[in-house]
Amino acid sequence: MSKIAFIGTGGTIASLGTGPLDIVHYGNNKTMLPADGILAAVPQVREVAEVIAVPFANIPSPSIGFAEWKALALLCSRLVAEHADLAGIVIGHGTATLEETAYALGLTLKVAIPVVVVGSQRPLSGLASDASMNLVNAVRVASDPQSAGRGVLVLLNDEIHAAREVTKTATYRLQTFRAPDFGMLGYVDGDVVSYYRRTERVTAPDTEFDLAMLEALPRVDIAYAYAGADGVEVDAFVAAGARGIVAAGFAPGMAPPGQAAALERAAKAGVVIVQATRAGSGVVHDNARLSALGFVPSDNLNPQKARVLLALALSHTQDRAEIMRMFKTY
Protein backbone atom coordinates (compact mmCIF):
# COMPACT_ATOMS: atom_id res chain seq x y z
CA MET A 1 0.00 0.00 0.00
CA SER A 2 1.39 3.41 -1.01
CA LYS A 3 2.32 6.01 1.60
CA ILE A 4 0.69 9.41 1.00
CA ALA A 5 1.08 12.60 3.04
CA PHE A 6 -2.07 14.68 3.52
CA ILE A 7 -1.47 18.35 4.30
CA GLY A 8 -4.47 20.23 5.65
CA THR A 9 -4.69 23.97 5.05
CA GLY A 10 -8.35 24.48 5.93
CA GLY A 11 -11.03 25.59 3.50
CA THR A 12 -14.44 24.09 2.76
CA ILE A 13 -13.07 20.56 2.67
CA ALA A 14 -12.13 20.98 6.35
CA SER A 15 -15.25 22.89 7.41
CA LEU A 16 -18.16 21.87 9.61
CA GLY A 17 -21.47 23.70 9.39
CA THR A 18 -24.22 23.78 11.97
CA GLY A 19 -25.88 20.73 10.40
CA PRO A 20 -26.26 18.66 7.19
CA LEU A 21 -28.30 21.37 5.44
CA ASP A 22 -25.82 24.15 6.18
CA ILE A 23 -24.01 24.12 2.83
CA VAL A 24 -23.89 27.86 2.04
CA HIS A 25 -23.26 29.80 5.24
CA TYR A 26 -21.14 27.17 7.03
CA GLY A 27 -18.24 29.61 7.29
CA ASN A 28 -20.16 31.45 9.98
CA ASN A 29 -19.73 28.38 12.19
CA LYS A 30 -15.96 29.04 12.19
CA THR A 31 -15.13 25.35 12.64
CA MET A 32 -12.47 23.59 10.61
CA LEU A 33 -10.89 20.21 11.25
CA PRO A 34 -7.11 19.74 11.15
CA ALA A 35 -5.62 17.15 8.81
CA ASP A 36 -5.93 14.26 11.28
CA GLY A 37 -9.54 15.22 12.03
CA ILE A 38 -10.42 15.12 8.34
CA LEU A 39 -8.84 11.68 7.97
CA ALA A 40 -10.76 10.48 11.01
CA ALA A 41 -13.99 11.74 9.42
CA VAL A 42 -13.18 9.93 6.16
CA PRO A 43 -11.81 6.55 7.32
CA GLN A 44 -12.25 5.09 3.82
CA VAL A 45 -9.06 6.90 2.82
CA ARG A 46 -7.14 4.29 4.80
CA GLU A 47 -8.46 1.60 2.44
CA VAL A 48 -6.77 3.34 -0.50
CA ALA A 49 -3.34 4.13 0.95
CA GLU A 50 -1.33 4.57 4.11
CA VAL A 51 -2.05 8.24 4.74
CA ILE A 52 -0.10 10.35 7.22
CA ALA A 53 -1.68 13.55 8.49
CA VAL A 54 0.42 16.70 8.26
CA PRO A 55 -0.98 19.76 10.08
CA PHE A 56 -0.43 23.10 8.41
CA ALA A 57 -3.24 25.63 8.97
CA ASN A 58 -7.00 25.95 9.41
CA ILE A 59 -7.79 29.03 7.35
CA PRO A 60 -10.12 30.02 4.50
CA SER A 61 -8.26 30.13 1.21
CA PRO A 62 -8.68 33.90 0.65
CA SER A 63 -6.07 34.18 3.43
CA ILE A 64 -3.50 32.17 1.44
CA GLY A 65 -0.72 33.87 -0.50
CA PHE A 66 3.05 33.94 -0.94
CA ALA A 67 3.94 33.10 2.68
CA GLU A 68 1.77 29.98 2.59
CA TRP A 69 3.02 28.97 -0.87
CA LYS A 70 6.60 29.14 0.35
CA ALA A 71 5.80 27.24 3.55
CA LEU A 72 3.99 24.54 1.56
CA ALA A 73 6.87 24.19 -0.89
CA LEU A 74 9.36 23.83 1.96
CA LEU A 75 7.06 21.38 3.76
CA CYS A 76 6.74 19.19 0.67
CA SER A 77 10.52 19.06 0.33
CA ARG A 78 10.88 18.17 4.01
CA LEU A 79 8.31 15.39 3.79
CA VAL A 80 10.12 13.82 0.84
CA ALA A 81 13.44 14.05 2.71
CA GLU A 82 11.97 12.49 5.88
CA HIS A 83 9.99 9.70 4.19
CA ALA A 84 12.05 7.87 1.59
CA ASP A 85 9.03 5.70 0.72
CA LEU A 86 6.59 8.59 0.24
CA ALA A 87 4.65 8.02 -2.99
CA GLY A 88 2.73 11.29 -3.19
CA ILE A 89 1.36 14.34 -1.41
CA VAL A 90 -2.23 15.57 -1.20
CA ILE A 91 -2.94 19.16 -0.13
CA GLY A 92 -6.42 20.02 1.11
CA HIS A 93 -7.29 23.60 0.16
CA GLY A 94 -10.20 26.02 -0.04
CA THR A 95 -11.49 26.52 -3.56
CA ALA A 96 -11.32 30.34 -3.68
CA THR A 97 -7.56 30.48 -4.36
CA LEU A 98 -6.96 26.80 -5.04
CA GLU A 99 -6.01 27.38 -8.67
CA GLU A 100 -3.43 30.03 -7.74
CA THR A 101 -1.81 27.90 -5.05
CA ALA A 102 -1.72 24.89 -7.37
CA TYR A 103 -0.12 26.94 -10.18
CA ALA A 104 2.38 28.61 -7.85
CA LEU A 105 3.44 25.19 -6.54
CA GLY A 106 3.51 23.85 -10.07
CA LEU A 107 6.06 26.54 -10.90
CA THR A 108 8.19 26.18 -7.79
CA LEU A 109 8.08 22.73 -6.15
CA LYS A 110 11.32 20.78 -6.14
CA VAL A 111 9.91 17.31 -5.46
CA ALA A 112 9.47 14.62 -8.11
CA ILE A 113 6.57 12.70 -6.56
CA PRO A 114 2.95 13.54 -7.50
CA VAL A 115 1.35 16.45 -5.67
CA VAL A 116 -2.44 16.74 -5.84
CA VAL A 117 -4.39 19.77 -4.59
CA VAL A 118 -7.95 18.94 -3.55
CA GLY A 119 -10.91 20.92 -2.29
CA SER A 120 -14.67 20.64 -2.09
CA GLN A 121 -17.69 22.77 -2.86
CA ARG A 122 -19.66 21.59 0.16
CA PRO A 123 -18.44 21.35 3.74
CA LEU A 124 -17.44 18.01 5.19
CA SER A 125 -20.59 18.05 7.34
CA GLY A 126 -22.99 18.86 4.49
CA LEU A 127 -25.63 16.56 3.04
CA ALA A 128 -24.24 14.92 -0.13
CA SER A 129 -20.91 16.66 0.45
CA ASP A 130 -18.26 16.11 -2.20
CA ALA A 131 -15.47 16.43 0.38
CA SER A 132 -15.08 12.74 1.24
CA MET A 133 -15.09 11.43 -2.33
CA ASN A 134 -12.77 14.18 -3.52
CA LEU A 135 -10.27 13.32 -0.78
CA VAL A 136 -10.39 9.60 -1.53
CA ASN A 137 -9.91 10.27 -5.24
CA ALA A 138 -7.06 12.69 -4.62
CA VAL A 139 -5.26 9.99 -2.63
CA ARG A 140 -5.90 7.54 -5.47
CA VAL A 141 -4.40 9.96 -7.98
CA ALA A 142 -1.38 10.72 -5.78
CA SER A 143 -0.80 6.96 -5.36
CA ASP A 144 -1.04 6.12 -9.05
CA PRO A 145 2.27 5.68 -10.92
CA GLN A 146 0.69 7.32 -13.99
CA SER A 147 0.57 10.62 -12.10
CA ALA A 148 4.35 10.94 -11.97
CA GLY A 149 5.88 13.60 -14.21
CA ARG A 150 2.65 15.53 -14.73
CA GLY A 151 3.39 18.43 -12.39
CA VAL A 152 0.93 19.59 -9.75
CA LEU A 153 -2.56 18.20 -10.30
CA VAL A 154 -5.99 19.36 -9.14
CA LEU A 155 -8.74 16.87 -8.29
CA LEU A 156 -12.43 17.65 -7.79
CA ASN A 157 -15.63 16.05 -9.04
CA ASP A 158 -13.83 12.87 -10.25
CA GLU A 159 -11.81 15.00 -12.70
CA ILE A 160 -8.03 15.40 -12.88
CA HIS A 161 -6.75 18.76 -14.09
CA ALA A 162 -3.39 20.38 -14.74
CA ALA A 163 -2.71 23.18 -12.27
CA ARG A 164 -1.85 25.62 -15.07
CA GLU A 165 -5.08 25.12 -16.98
CA VAL A 166 -7.84 24.73 -14.41
CA THR A 167 -9.98 27.53 -13.01
CA LYS A 168 -13.02 27.86 -10.77
CA THR A 169 -16.03 28.69 -12.95
CA ALA A 170 -19.07 28.57 -10.63
CA THR A 171 -19.82 29.60 -7.07
CA TYR A 172 -21.63 26.52 -5.76
CA ARG A 173 -21.82 23.85 -8.49
CA LEU A 174 -19.80 20.68 -7.91
CA GLN A 175 -18.42 20.76 -11.47
CA THR A 176 -16.93 24.23 -10.96
CA PHE A 177 -13.29 23.41 -11.74
CA ARG A 178 -12.74 23.29 -15.49
CA ALA A 179 -10.02 23.86 -18.05
CA PRO A 180 -11.84 26.02 -20.64
CA ASP A 181 -9.37 25.71 -23.52
CA PHE A 182 -8.17 22.12 -23.29
CA GLY A 183 -10.28 20.13 -20.86
CA MET A 184 -9.27 17.74 -18.13
CA LEU A 185 -6.33 15.35 -18.12
CA GLY A 186 -8.35 12.36 -16.99
CA TYR A 187 -10.93 10.83 -14.69
CA VAL A 188 -11.18 8.80 -11.52
CA ASP A 189 -13.94 6.20 -11.70
CA GLY A 190 -13.98 4.13 -8.53
CA ASP A 191 -10.50 2.69 -8.12
CA VAL A 192 -9.60 3.28 -11.79
CA VAL A 193 -7.44 6.32 -12.62
CA SER A 194 -7.51 7.09 -16.36
CA TYR A 195 -5.36 9.68 -18.13
CA TYR A 196 -5.97 10.84 -21.71
CA ARG A 197 -3.50 13.69 -22.21
CA ARG A 198 -0.79 15.73 -20.49
CA THR A 199 0.13 19.39 -20.47
CA GLU A 200 2.82 20.50 -22.89
CA ARG A 201 4.20 23.24 -20.63
CA VAL A 202 7.16 22.82 -18.29
CA THR A 203 6.13 21.97 -14.74
CA ALA A 204 7.69 21.29 -11.35
CA PRO A 205 10.26 20.20 -10.46
CA ASP A 206 11.93 21.19 -13.77
CA THR A 207 11.49 24.97 -13.49
CA GLU A 208 13.81 27.90 -12.88
CA PHE A 209 11.86 29.22 -9.88
CA ASP A 210 12.48 28.36 -6.23
CA LEU A 211 10.41 29.92 -3.45
CA ALA A 212 13.00 28.86 -0.87
CA MET A 213 15.32 31.50 -2.32
CA LEU A 214 12.79 34.35 -1.98
CA GLU A 215 11.80 36.45 1.02
CA ALA A 216 8.89 38.03 -0.84
CA LEU A 217 7.46 38.37 -4.32
CA PRO A 218 7.51 41.69 -6.18
CA ARG A 219 4.18 43.49 -6.03
CA VAL A 220 1.98 42.68 -9.03
CA ASP A 221 -1.59 43.94 -9.35
CA ILE A 222 -4.49 43.25 -11.73
CA ALA A 223 -6.32 46.02 -13.58
CA TYR A 224 -9.75 44.87 -14.78
CA ALA A 225 -11.15 46.39 -17.97
CA TYR A 226 -14.74 47.58 -18.10
CA ALA A 227 -16.62 50.13 -20.16
CA GLY A 228 -15.52 53.58 -19.08
CA ALA A 229 -12.58 52.53 -16.88
CA ASP A 230 -10.38 55.61 -16.49
CA GLY A 231 -7.19 54.01 -15.18
CA VAL A 232 -7.27 55.50 -11.70
CA GLU A 233 -6.57 52.06 -10.27
CA VAL A 234 -3.48 51.70 -12.48
CA ASP A 235 -2.07 54.97 -11.17
CA ALA A 236 -2.81 53.82 -7.62
CA PHE A 237 -1.00 50.51 -8.21
CA VAL A 238 2.06 52.38 -9.47
CA ALA A 239 1.95 54.73 -6.48
CA ALA A 240 1.75 51.71 -4.18
CA GLY A 241 4.97 50.32 -5.64
CA ALA A 242 3.77 47.80 -8.20
CA ARG A 243 6.58 46.37 -10.30
CA GLY A 244 4.12 44.60 -12.56
CA ILE A 245 0.49 44.97 -13.61
CA VAL A 246 -1.66 42.38 -15.36
CA ALA A 247 -4.25 44.05 -17.58
CA ALA A 248 -7.38 41.89 -17.61
CA GLY A 249 -8.53 43.45 -20.85
CA PHE A 250 -11.41 43.11 -23.26
CA ALA A 251 -10.91 40.09 -25.52
CA PRO A 252 -8.57 39.61 -27.29
CA GLY A 253 -6.51 42.04 -25.17
CA MET A 254 -7.56 45.68 -25.14
CA ALA A 255 -8.37 48.40 -22.60
CA PRO A 256 -10.71 51.43 -22.71
CA PRO A 257 -8.93 54.71 -23.56
CA GLY A 258 -8.44 56.07 -20.04
CA GLN A 259 -7.13 52.79 -18.68
CA ALA A 260 -4.97 52.26 -21.77
CA ALA A 261 -3.32 55.65 -21.23
CA ALA A 262 -2.64 54.82 -17.57
CA LEU A 263 -1.09 51.48 -18.54
CA GLU A 264 1.16 53.25 -21.05
CA ARG A 265 2.25 55.71 -18.36
CA ALA A 266 3.01 52.82 -16.03
CA ALA A 267 5.08 51.05 -18.67
CA LYS A 268 7.09 54.22 -19.34
CA ALA A 269 7.75 54.42 -15.58
CA GLY A 270 9.32 50.95 -15.68
CA VAL A 271 6.35 48.83 -14.60
CA VAL A 272 6.07 45.56 -16.56
CA ILE A 273 2.62 45.21 -18.10
CA VAL A 274 1.22 41.81 -19.05
CA GLN A 275 -1.77 41.96 -21.36
CA ALA A 276 -4.34 39.30 -20.47
CA THR A 277 -8.06 39.04 -21.14
CA ARG A 278 -11.13 38.91 -18.94
CA ALA A 279 -12.82 36.53 -21.42
CA GLY A 280 -12.07 33.36 -19.45
CA SER A 281 -10.40 31.50 -22.30
CA GLY A 282 -8.34 32.06 -25.40
CA VAL A 283 -4.90 33.40 -26.24
CA VAL A 284 -3.49 36.92 -26.17
CA HIS A 285 -0.90 36.96 -28.96
CA ASP A 286 1.99 39.35 -29.42
CA ASN A 287 1.37 42.05 -32.01
CA ALA A 288 2.78 45.34 -33.22
CA ARG A 289 0.81 47.36 -30.67
CA LEU A 290 1.91 45.33 -27.65
CA SER A 291 5.48 45.23 -28.91
CA ALA A 292 5.58 48.99 -29.42
CA LEU A 293 4.27 49.55 -25.89
CA GLY A 294 6.63 46.99 -24.37
CA PHE A 295 3.70 44.94 -23.03
CA VAL A 296 4.01 41.17 -22.58
CA PRO A 297 1.19 38.98 -23.96
CA SER A 298 -0.20 36.52 -21.41
CA ASP A 299 -0.58 33.61 -23.82
CA ASN A 300 -3.70 31.80 -22.52
CA LEU A 301 -3.14 32.33 -18.79
CA ASN A 302 -6.05 33.92 -16.99
CA PRO A 303 -5.28 37.16 -15.12
CA GLN A 304 -4.85 35.59 -11.68
CA LYS A 305 -2.39 33.01 -12.96
CA ALA A 306 -0.59 35.55 -15.13
CA ARG A 307 -0.08 37.53 -11.93
CA VAL A 308 1.60 34.53 -10.25
CA LEU A 309 3.96 33.92 -13.16
CA LEU A 310 4.76 37.62 -13.62
CA ALA A 311 5.66 37.98 -9.93
CA LEU A 312 8.00 35.01 -10.15
CA ALA A 313 9.46 36.29 -13.42
CA LEU A 314 10.12 39.72 -11.90
CA SER A 315 12.10 38.07 -9.11
CA HIS A 316 14.58 37.19 -11.90
CA THR A 317 14.36 39.87 -14.58
CA GLN A 318 12.47 42.83 -16.07
CA ASP A 319 13.54 42.08 -19.64
CA ARG A 320 10.54 41.80 -21.96
CA ALA A 321 12.05 39.07 -24.12
CA GLU A 322 12.94 36.96 -21.09
CA ILE A 323 9.52 37.36 -19.53
CA MET A 324 7.88 36.47 -22.85
CA ARG A 325 10.02 33.32 -22.94
CA MET A 326 8.76 32.40 -19.47
CA PHE A 327 5.13 32.90 -20.53
CA LYS A 328 5.72 30.61 -23.50
CA THR A 329 7.53 28.03 -21.33
CA TYR A 330 5.23 27.80 -18.33
Cα–Cα distance measured from residue 325 to residue 316, given in angstroms and rounded to the nearest whole number: 13
Is residue 212 situated within a structural domain? Answer: no
Same domain, yes or no, for 179 and 242?
A: no
pLDDT band with cut points at 50, 70 and 90 for residue 171: very high
pTM: 0.97
**Amino acid code (one letter) for 99:** E
Question: Residue 276 falls within a domain, yes or no?
Answer: yes
Catalytic residue among 9, 12, 203, 207: 12
Q: Is 214 exposed, middle or buried (0-12, 13-18, 19+ CB in 10 A)?
A: middle
Same domain, 234 and 138: no
Q: Which domain, by its residues, includes 17?
A: 3-195
Contact 243, 218 (CB under 8 A): yes
Local confidence band at 49 (pLDDT 50, 70, 90 cut-offs)? very high
- Same-domain pairing of 105 and 228: no
**For the domain that residue 157 is a member of, what is the CATH number?**
3.40.50.1170
242 and 122: one domain? Answer: no
Neighbours of 156 (CB within 10 A): 28
CATH number for position 286: 3.40.50.40
Number of structural domains the chain divides into: 2
150 lies in some domain = yes
User: pLDDT (tens digit, 9 = 90+) per residue, 229-260?
Assistant: 999 999 999 999 999 999 999 999 999 999 99
As to burial, measured by CB atoms within 10 angstroms (0-12 exposed, 13-18 middle, 19+ buried), residue 215 is exposed
* DSSP 3-state of 307: helix
Share of the chain above pLDDT 70, in %: 100
Q: What is the pLDDT of residues 114-139, one digit of tens each?
A: 999 999 999 999 999 999 999 999 99
- The CA-atom distances, in angstroms, between 193 and each of 139, 152, 169, 258 are 11, 16, 24, 50
Cα gap 8→301, rounded to integer Å: 27
Residues 65 and 190 in one domain: yes
Domain final residue, candidates 138, 161, 195: 195
Q: What is the pLDDT of residue 137?
A: 98
Does residue 95 have an active-site annotation?
Answer: no
